[in-house]
Amino acid sequence: MKKGYFIKTMQIILVLIVLGAALFVLNHTVKNGRETQTMLPTVMDTPVYVECNENTELTVSMQAKEDFHVGGFQLLLVNISEESKGTLHLTLKDSSGNLYMDQVIPVDTIVPGEWFQVSADAVFTAGEEYVFTMTADGSEPYFMQLSREEMNEVLPVEVTVKQDGVEVDSGISFGVDVVTEAKVTFGDIFYYSVPLVVLAAVVCILLILFGKEKMVSMVQKIPFAEFFAKYGNDLFLILLFISICVSIYARAYVKGVYITSDSAGYLREAVNLVHGNGFAYDGLAGYDSWFANWPILYPAMIAAVMFVTQTNAYLASKILSMLLVGIILVILRCRFGKEAWVYSLCLTNIGFLNLTYYTWSEIPFMVVLLCFGLVFAKILKEENPSVKWYVFLGLTGFGCFMTRYYGAYVWIVIGLYLLLFIKQYLEKKDKVILKKGICITVTAFVSGCLSFGYLLMNKVMNGMASGVSRTLWWDDYEKLTNDLIGSLLTEIFNIFSLQVPQIIDNCPYSMKVWFLVIVLVGLAWFIKANCKHFSTESVMITLAVSYYIIFIGIRYVSSMDTFYFRFFEPATFILSIGLVGLILPYLRDRKGFHYFAAVVTTVMCMAVISLFQNGSMETENSYYSSLTKQWDDAYADIPEKSVVIFSNIDFRASWYRPDVVEGEILPENTYADLQNIYAGSDYMCVRAEDAATMVEEGDYDKSVKDVLQQGLEEKSADSEYIVINLR
């Protein structure tokens, strides 16, 4: 016994000696250690660019705020095709003309839409100016246009961008690698080496003390399998909910603001709803404009969150997205039980996540569309459904319409099923089928009448049933078709959280069609072989396929945005739910399926942790705060209840100052006309430079010129606008 204890003691001592030696080496400082910090401004996907025209210099003048060592520059370019054989000539000089960098980069080696590094080695001195010059030869790549103020806040330099010597009033997608001396250990270089070494030592000591068999026996007694079998599904759903919520907050509030013109309309209406102005989205500005371009439900939901949380409209829309994601997960849990975690993977679709970042009505639409499909499937499955399910069907159908006008398509789908009911009844004379068909018809009729009544109300109040004319304006049908092909390809890969592979993306559209045909034929064959009539899966797939076909048809005969993920993601989400139901029978009870769940869980945990480690949750200098500061500056000289003539203020800010409207002055307008047209406003604001041009060169009525001239004379020196009292 004593000999055994002695041997174990010596083994433990040896393990500790090896551990100490390993820790000593890993914590040893590397000679000439350096740390590189990449400083990048936030890039939004708004399609606004600064062009690097061929053989024309695009320069970034940088005045250093402090002394620092530059290790390279980061560039993000778009409008690059693989066929391009041009080059990009890059130089870096100081104010004295000393050359620090001179590189020529083939454009076809640059991945569009991704940051790439240009190596450099220079020491910047505080107060000195350095010029980074880019000249394209045989190509015309674009930079993303950014806020210059934000660039100057993020980068260690004050930036001025010039195109062919002319200053550009914006920044570009340009970053700096700052190199600093740092104490770097081998443990820092080899990630996680220290905890892994310690863990290995602990395992070795436990094996020495207890032996392999006893250790294995102790681990096997821990009820991992029972615990995860009982709680694993719910823990996964909770973890997924947390990860999506963190991602929404980090990406759409702290590190970016996702507002389009549609978003601004929703937010403006929500603010007016909170202030009791109902459908008058310009109510706070003094006008009785009727909110009809989109249904009212989504802005009403934002307003409800604003009222409860007392937050601003934009943040309320992000909180609403989080709540809706939670509702979807609860619905999946209630319907699919302990297999809900598999269905919840549909929420990891890139398109779905992007929708949660934007302030758009698609997410609430997807919630009610999911409910509609599940309720309808239940009605089809049960022999004698209770009245409450028909009520739910009508409410969710009306909810689809009230989130998106296009949601009325669900009743077209119901019409197809009713035709099938008629066929079955004529064949079987089954009264159950007749009764069910009559109940569904009554439900569709009532819900349809409510929808028609809403459109009629819009027609009376607005002059148009859906707010604007949606007839065909003009279209490049070849480009539209190419966009359709590209969008459908994107949907396929988005399902797997992947971008379209470069090898496919670079193919001509005529070849992309064949890839789509192969995928669609394969899906059709799989669905035909596995899908049962009137099952939940068949309903979901029918809803999705009908959505695609009807929407594509409508788009070709009416004008709106071109095809992209926003339009197709609701159908892709519903289709994915149906396909998961068809695939699951092949996966149930298969060995290794639980390992897949473990891998997905690990990836989600890593994604959340990375957001914290990358500083994406640091709200001190959030993108939203920076943007609202710019808006505050832009509106600083504009009093309440004003009309801004020929406004150049960021369109995303239209909800931020809902008391302000945009306007114009036509040559035929008199000042009395303007007082009548803008009777809801107390003041009329015109940029001083515009007013001066209108007075000196514009063909405007004398009464208007006189008022503008008076405004110019009374304007304070530091004000950008002249302010005219309309009362």
Q: Residue 66's domain is classified under what CATH number?
A: 2.60.120.820
pLDDT tens digits for range 415-448: 999 999 898 888 888 888 889 999 999 999 999 9
- Last-in-domain residue among 468, 486, 513: 468
Query: Per residue in 407-420, is it b (16+ CB within 10 Å) or e — as a string?
Result: bbbbbebbeebbee
Let me know whether 498 and 440 are in one domain: no
Please give the Cα distance from 680 to 285 (Å, whole number): 7
Determine the residue type at 223.
Answer: P
Give which of 361, 399, 331 is closest to 569, Cα–Cα: 361
Output the CA torsion 556→561→563→567 (10° steps): -110
Residue that wins the pLDDT comparison between 7 and 676: 676
Interacting residues of 504 by C-beta distance below 8 A, sequence separation 6+: 489, 512, 515
Burial class (CB in 10 A: 0-12, 13-18, 19+), 489: buried
- 612 vs 99, more confident: 99
b/e for 427-440, b at 16 or more Cβ within 10 A?
Answer: eeeeeebeebbebb
pLDDT digits (tens, 9 = 90+) for 42-58: 776 666 788 888 888 89
| 40 and 177 in a common domain | yes
Give, as one character, the DSSP assignment of residue 190: S
Q: Is the pLDDT of residue 11 over 90?
A: no
Greatest mean pLDDT among 28-32, 189-193, 518-522: 518-522
CA angle, 453 then 454 then 459, to 5°: 95
Query: What is the distance between the alpha carbons of residues 681 and 688, in angstroms, rounded to a whole number?
Result: 19
Considering the domain architecture, whether residues 55 and 108 belong to the same structural domain is answered as yes
DSSP letter assigned to residue 657: S
State both tokens at 659: 């008391």
Q: Does 83 have pLDDT greater than 60?
A: no
> Do 86 and 131 share a domain, yes or no?
yes
Judge if 245 and 162 occupy the same domain: no
Of residues 562 and 671, more confidence is placed in: 671
Query: Which of the four pLDDT bands, split at 50, 70 and 90, describes residue 212?
Result: confident
Regarding whether 209 and 232 lie in a shared domain, the answer is no
For the segment 142-165, the average pLDDT, to the nearest whole number, is: 87
Indicate the pLDDT class of residue 146, thresholds 50, 70 and 90: confident
Q: For the chain, how many structural domains are there in total? A: 6
Q: How far apart are CA 127 and CA 157, in angstroms?
A: 9
Q: What is the mean pLDDT of residues 152-177?
A: 88
Tell whether the model's pLDDT for residue 671 goes beyond 90. yes
Q: Are residues 167 and 47 in the same domain?
A: yes
Instruction: Give the pLDDT score at 45.
Output: 61
Per DSSP, what are the bridge partners of residue 88?
A: 105, 136
Are 569 and 612 within one domain?
no
Verify that 452 and 506 share a domain, yes or no.
no
Q: What is the mean pLDDT of residues 401-427?
A: 93
pLDDT greater than 90 at residue 12: no
Residue 276: which residues within 8 A CB-CB, separation 6 or more?
none
Q: In this prediction, what percent of the chain has a pLDDT beyond 90?
A: 52
Predicted local confidence at residue 516, as pLDDT: 93
Which has more confidence, 153 or 489? Answer: 489
Number of helices and strands in the chain (H, E): 25, 17
Q: What is the pLDDT of residue 82?
A: 53
Greater pLDDT, 572 or 226: 572
pLDDT tens, 439-494? 999 999 999 999 999 999 999 998 898 888 777 566 778 888 888 998 999 999 98
pTM of the model: 0.84
Pair 316, 239 in one domain? yes
Reference 298, options 423, 407, 208; nearest CA is 407
Token pair of 487, please? 């969008």
Q: What is the pLDDT of residue 415?
A: 94
Q: Report which of residues 213 and 474 the model is more confident about.
A: 213
- State residue 32's pLDDT score: 67
Q: Given a cut of 60, is residue 361 above it in pLDDT?
A: yes
Tell me the average pLDDT across 546-560: 90
Is the per-residue pLDDT at 223 higher than 90?
no
Q: Rounded to whole angstroms, what are the CA distances from 30 to 27, 187, 191, 248, 567? A: 9, 10, 15, 39, 53
Residues 484 and 388 in one domain: no
What does the pLDDT average to over 526-543?
Answer: 94
DSSP characters for 100-156? Answer: EEEEEEEGGGSPTTSEEEEEEEEEE-TT-EEEEEEEEES---EEEEE-HHHHHHHSS
Domain holding 99, by residue range, is 34-181
- What is the rounded CA–CA span in Å between residue 352 and residue 349? 5
Q: Report how far residue 199's alpha carbon sits from residue 197's, in angstroms, rounded to the nearest whole number.
A: 5
In this structure, the answer to whether residues 48 and 140 fall within a common structural domain is: yes
More confident call, 107 vs 700: 700
Mean per-residue pLDDT of the chain: 89
Q: Which residues contact 135 (CB under 8 A, 6 or more apart)?
A: 52, 55, 56, 57, 58, 88, 89
pLDDT at 213 over 90: no
